[in-house]
A and B are shown apart, each in its own frame.
Chain A
């Protein structure tokens, strides 16, 4: 899993039938300092998470397994949880993506 920050939402009305209960969010991967590390991704999410939230996410086959219900679906990135706080060295990443040193 990786650390990320939710940056936005994505609406796709017509989609694979097994994905009807899934929302799509835009996500930027973060490095250990909480700084954007790489291009934004579109992630599936079945949790109560929205823009600004700090999260962890999973990729590959496990992304589909992380969804409730049908897990044989074409998804390669899924948000696995809300990060209340990540303490990394002297840095504490917390709510709303604030990075506090």
Chain B
């Protein structure tokens, strides 16, 4: 899994593989635990938690996990937003807090 910020939305209603129908797609930017950008490419992820632009989230990028979450044994899914990040602590120091408490 990785930390990421939701930075955008994707509208693709007309032409897509069936498993994506009626699912919300988000553009997410992978981050380090400290919240810095990484060299990893932005992902288009399926939202499973009601996330939106500005949220810091937990993203899986692995197909078998995605298929389990969506209960789709043959689904071509890989990247999913699966959680909101409330707080991150590294080496005893809080480096991110959703409530703005980062020291």
Contacts and interface: CB of A to CB of B under 8 A. Distances in A.
Given A32-B7, A65-B75, A82 B16 contact: yes
Interface string B69-86: 000001111110000000
Interface residues of B, number: 27
Contacts of B20: 80-81
Contact of A66 (B7, B27, B76): B76
Interface string B6-17: 011111111111
A32 to B, nearest CB: 5
A27 interface: no
Nearest to B12: A81
A81 B29 contact: no
Interface of A: 1-3, 29, 31-32, 37-38, 47-49, 56, 58-63, 65-66, 71, 78, 80-89
28 contacts: A1-B44, A1-B45, A1-B79, A3-B10, A3-B27, A32-B7, A32-B29, A38-B41, A47-B16, A48-B15, A56-B10, A56-B25, A65-B63, A65-B75, A71-B74, A80-B17, A81-B12, A81-B20, A83-B10, A83-B11, A83-B12, A84-B11, A84-B13, A85-B11, A87-B8, A88-B7, A88-B8, A89-B7
